[in-house]
Amino acid sequence: MPTIVPIAPFDYETCCSAIDGLRHKYPFLTCRVIGRSHVGRAIFALSVGQAQGPVLLAAGFHGTEWITTIVLLRFLERVCESLQSRAELCHIQIAGALEGRALLAVPCVNPDGIQIALHGAEAAGVYRAFVSRLSGDMCGNWNANARGVDINHNFGAGWQTLRQLEQEAGITGPAPGRYGGPSPESEPETKALTRLTRLRQPRHVLAIHSQGEEIFWQYGGHVPEGTEKLARIFAAASGYELVKNEGLASHGGFKDWFIEKTGRPGFTVEFGKGKNPLPLEAFPDMYSKLEYLLALAAIL
């Protein structure tokens, strides 16, 4: 079983340590910095295989959802372990299935937000006073980045419609969550992910969030070819429910942007059930339900 990626509160230092451990044990795992947050924290992309058109998995969009970074790094460790030992993962011969293909992972899109949610306003650097004021010194529910922008509202898909919905909900400026920013892709975290996506041209993407045990697979009237088939396979593999976006979750997300801009399948997977942040003691059972979905996503 994996030992490098701990089941622990997953702050930036823990993430960096886990990535260093994986790179040391699995030299074929490549890592590069694709951008930096407002506070200067690195945003990493890890990959196995060099083929164009990889599958892209991304996590850690929201501060209270730091458990999703554990999910993605734990899965990547399991993949690397299977590649090195030529063993099966979820009854799949991963080495053969990934031959001529690539898997690309961005485990922590919003490192500042996660650091703030775990350690409070002090983790916001030069934005410390700003974050303290917005949160009322109660940072445990912080989901935005250090500038008070919700990264998963900052992608350019139906952004003007989302802005109107936010204003109707009383969200008119920086906040602990749900504010889409001054313009689409205004944030360095968003730009890092869209730049990587444009460069590598994934054949499909999964954005891992928590919680709900749900799979979102459409955006507006956009249903790329093959999407419904993949969605049903993922639902059958995990027991998760297929659902449609509603309200403030209807626009501005990464999978929304990917579907609209590329015409290829994109999915948001809501890991686990409960209240964010999800309890670590439930992680093994929650993860076991999702691993087969992730393995299929990586090879299909």
Q: Residues 203, 262: contact at Cβ < 8 Å? A: no
269 strand-pairing partners:
208, 215
Strand positions, DSSP E, the chain: 30-36, 42-48, 55-58, 103-106, 204-209, 214-216, 241-243, 266-270
Listing DSSP states for 245-267 in one string gives --GGGSSS-HHHHHHHHH-S-EE
CA distance 148 to 131: 7
Concerning whether 81 is annotated as a catalytic residue, the answer is no
| Per annotation, catalytic residue among 166, 213, 260, 270 | 270
Query: What single DSSP character describes residue 279?
Result: P
Query: Residue 228 CA to chain centroid, in angstroms?
Result: 21
Q: Sign of the CA dihedral 91, 95, 96, 100?
A: positive
Residues with catalytic annotation?
270
